[in-house]
Chains A and B, each alone.
Chain A
Amino acid sequence: MSLDEAILRADDVSCVFGAGGMFSGSKQVRAVDGVSLHVGPQETLGIVGESGSGKSTMARILLGLLKPTSGTVSFEGVDYAKMNRAQRWNFHQAVQVVFQDPGTSLNPRKSVVKILSEVLLLHKKVPGSKVLDRVIEVLDSVGLPSEIAFRMPHELSGGQKQRVAIGRAIAMEPKVIIADEALSALDVSIQAQVLSLMKELQRDLNVSYAFISHDLGVVREIADRVVVMHNGKVEETGNTQEVLDHPQAEYTKSLLAARFIANPHEARRVRLARELSETL
């Protein structure tokens, strides 16, 4: 895929924290250091890294929540920093987000219908009279029954909350959804359900994902391409299958080697091999 087709791209983006005033007394941290990446249409880009790798900072930069210290983020070829009002407004519809912790991604004082309708009304997605119909439609498409609409967040389970958060994102009819560790806080069985929902939505709505995760297993399931981040830098990038099966960068190799394989045969084989090599 050529770079021109990219919907959302970052060019040589860096972000330095702690560059504050004379009283801050803290050291500078280069959270993101010269990262370039792009998300194409209907594509899922996996961004993989451990905590402190800068992947979540990258998510906030891509969302326009954080201004990079240097480098540019552009959407459909327009530099975010140079966007006019209308373009920014468009950006805020087209780029949406699903966060890690379903417990804090919904305002505890607003009912589901309020949460979904306020974004619909803000961007005038539907006329006021059709809002409730649309809310129920959105709930349906994320696999939630319509009566959920009148619940408060604390009455929902973790999986349901995450579905509402996904619903809030797709209600805007976005082109890209940034999923920042969107599955990490969920139980394994719920993870699998939400993962398949996200795949389904991608098929139906032609949306692209930037899927940020520390979990190589999840990324293998959903991502077409993958970017491996470490200490704020991109270590390796490429087709998911290729990168995970034939990693080139040392860091990717160590990340893959460190992973627990949910397979006791494999685990024993690896351990025996190591013990053998130690005795030899």
Chain B
Amino acid sequence: MLRFTISRLAIAIPLLFAIILILFLMLKAAPGDPVSVIIGNFPAPDEYRQQIVERYNLDDPLWVQFWAYLGNLISGDFGYSFANSADVIDVIFSRLPATLLLVVLGIVFGSALGIVVGLVSGRTTKRGLDNSLNIFVLIAFAIPSFWLAQLLVMFFALQMGWFPTSGLNSAGLSASTWETAANMAWHLVLPVTALALVDFAAVARIIRSSTAEVATQDYIVTAQLKRVRPWRITSRHIFRNASLPVVTVIGYRFGQALAGVLLVEKVFGYPGMGQLLEQSIIKRDNQTILGIVVLVAVMVVVINLITDLLYGFLDPRIRRA
């Protein structure tokens, strides 16, 4: 397991390095004067422009520039955002928790439902049920999360008035922690639903096919020979082996969810990174854009590292290797 961990780490670090390199090269390839590309379209004083040239070694060869850029990132310096008049890192961190909350809840609920539907679909002996669940999953795959968000707003918020249309907290609410939490949960229902749909579809699909595959394995025959009860065969023999690929899928889904959340946030006016990113694009605040993307990349790589290790831990064939 230690060997496995080290080998996965040895992959993750160059991966991060490569992502930052790609971003850096994109930055360099962008049209326009290099200082403006970094700070965006803001009338900055000349001294500040000179300061930027020095900080990012803009007069030096490309690799020195990259080295300086990397050094700044590692020391936690993501630059200064003119649009927000604050350090990029502070701007991002003020938005990050809300976004992460949404992403994690979406994946948790989506995967849980996906596992149930996938298991039922993979284990059922009724062709009709399997087909309907399959069509349901295919439709879920085809619905853009932001459109579902709009539909939810129109029906459950505007029409029925059951849920708020936007935000994370009701304005002017000063109540106990419990009430704040309940209020937040109430705000989260619709965005989490919109976001969870595609996670649900991805997980249901993988569980369906892996369950069906595991069910044809010879060791299931052995379990039947032992007269293990059918529900126990499903829970102990099939599910355990069929759920392994889900761990990997959730790792991949995390990156996709971080992209999807940007769209859903826009619909709900949710105070997260999506809003920040959209505003930064409009204002051409490139420092902030790059900061967000680098942070997303770091999170994606770390999450994938964790799911990789988790997979290794769950599968004794890797754990004991």
Chain A in direct contact with chain B (Cβ < 8 angstroms):
yes
Residues of A within 8 A of B (CB): 22-23, 25
B11 at the A/B interface (Cβ < 8 Å)? yes
Work out how many contacts link A and B, with CB atoms closer than 8 A: 7
B226 at the interface (CB under 8 A from A): no
| Stretch from B2-10, B69-77, B107-115, B164-172 at the A interface | B2-10
Contact B11 A23 (CB under 8 A): yes
Question: Which B residues are within 8 Å of any A CB, using their own CB?
Answer: 3-4, 7, 10-11
Q: Which 4 A-B pairs have the closest CB atoms?
A: A25-B7, A25-B3, A23-B7, A23-B10
Main secondary structure of the interface of B (DSSP, over half): helix
Instruction: With CB as the reference atom, state the residue of chain B lying closest to A26.
Output: B321
B11: chain A residues at CB < 8 Å are 23
Q: For A22, what are the chain B residues with a Cβ–Cβ distance below 8 Å?
A: 10
Output the nearest chain A residue to B321 by Cβ-Cβ distance. Answer: A25
Provide the bound-state CA to CA distance between A272 and B4, in Å. 52
Q: Cα distance A23–B4 when bound, in Å?
A: 10
Name the B residues within 8 Å of A25 (CB-CB). 3-4, 7
Q: Can you name the residue of chain B whose Cβ is closest to the Cβ of A22?
A: B10
Q: Within the assembled complex, what's the spacing in Å between the Cα atoms of A37 and B248?
A: 48
User: Least Cβ distance of A22 to chain B in Å?
Assistant: 7
Please indicate the chain A residues that have their CB under 8 angstroms from the CB of B3 in the complex.
25
Q: How far is the CA of A22 from the CA of B13 in the complex (A)?
A: 14
Cα distance, A54 to B7, chains bound together (Å): 29
B3's nearest neighbour on chain A, judged by CB, is A25
Contacts of B4 in A (CB 8 A): 25
In the assembly, what is the distance between CA of A22 and CA of B4, in Å? 12
Q: How far is the CB of A21 from chain B (nearest CB, A)?
A: 10
Give 7 pairs: A residue, B residue, CB < 8 Å, sorted on A: A22-B10, A23-B7, A23-B10, A23-B11, A25-B3, A25-B4, A25-B7
Give min CB distance, B143 to chain A, whole Å.
Answer: 38
A23 neighbours in B (Cβ, 8 Å): 7, 10-11
Cα A22 to Cα B3 with chains together (Å): 11
What's the least CB distance linking A27 to chain B, in Å?
10
Minimum CB–CB distance for A104 against chain B, Å: 21
Q: Which residue of A lies closest to B4 (CB)?
A: A25
A22 to B11, CA, bound (A): 10
State in angstroms the CA–CA spacing of A25 and B8 once bound together.
10
A256 to chain B, nearest CB (A): 32
Residues of chain A contacted by B7 (CB below 8 angstroms): 23, 25
- In the complex, what distance in Å separates the CA atom of A23 from the CA atom of B3? 10
Per the bound structure, the CA–CA distance linking A25 and B7 in Å amounts to: 7
Tell me, rounded to whole Å, the shortest Cβ–Cβ distance linking B315 to chain A: 15
Nearest to B11 among chain A residues (CB) is: A23
A25, B312: Cα distance in complex, Å: 14
A25 — nearest CB in chain B belongs to which residue?
B7
- Bound CA–CA A25/B4 (angstroms): 8
**Within the assembled complex, what's the spacing in Å between the Cα atoms of A22 and B7?**
8
What distance in Å separates the Cβ of A29 from its nearest Cβ neighbour in chain B?
14
In the assembled complex, the Cα of A23 lies from the Cα of B7 at a distance in Å of 6
Query: Which residue of the partner chain A has the closest CB to B7?
Result: A25
For A24, the closest partner residue in chain B by CB is B7
Task: Report how far A25 CA is from B3 CA in the complex, Å.
Answer: 7
- Least CB distance from B272 to A in Å reads 36
A22–B10 Cα gap in the complex (Å)? Answer: 9
- Nearest-neighbour CB distance to chain A for B1, whole angstroms, equals 11
Q: How far is the CB of B13 from chain A (nearest CB, A)?
A: 12
* Closest beta carbon of chain A to B148's beta carbon, Å: 41
A133 to B7, CA, bound (A): 58
In the assembled complex, the Cα of A136 lies from the Cα of B227 at a distance in Å of 56
Alpha-carbon distance A69/B106, docked complex (angstroms): 52
CA distance A25 to B10 in the complex (A): 11
CA distance A25 to B11 in the complex (A): 12
Q: Which residues of A contact B10 (CB under 8 A)?
A: 22-23
Name the distance in Å between A168's Cβ and chain B's nearest Cβ.
Answer: 34
Least distance between B8 CB and chain A CB atoms (Å): 10
Shortest Cβ distance from residue A28 to the other chain B in the assembled complex, whole angstroms: 14
Complex Cα distance, B10 from A28, in Å, reads 20
Q: Chain A nearest CB: distance from B164 CB in Å?
A: 50
A25 to B1, CA, bound (A): 11
A70 to B178, CA, bound (A): 73
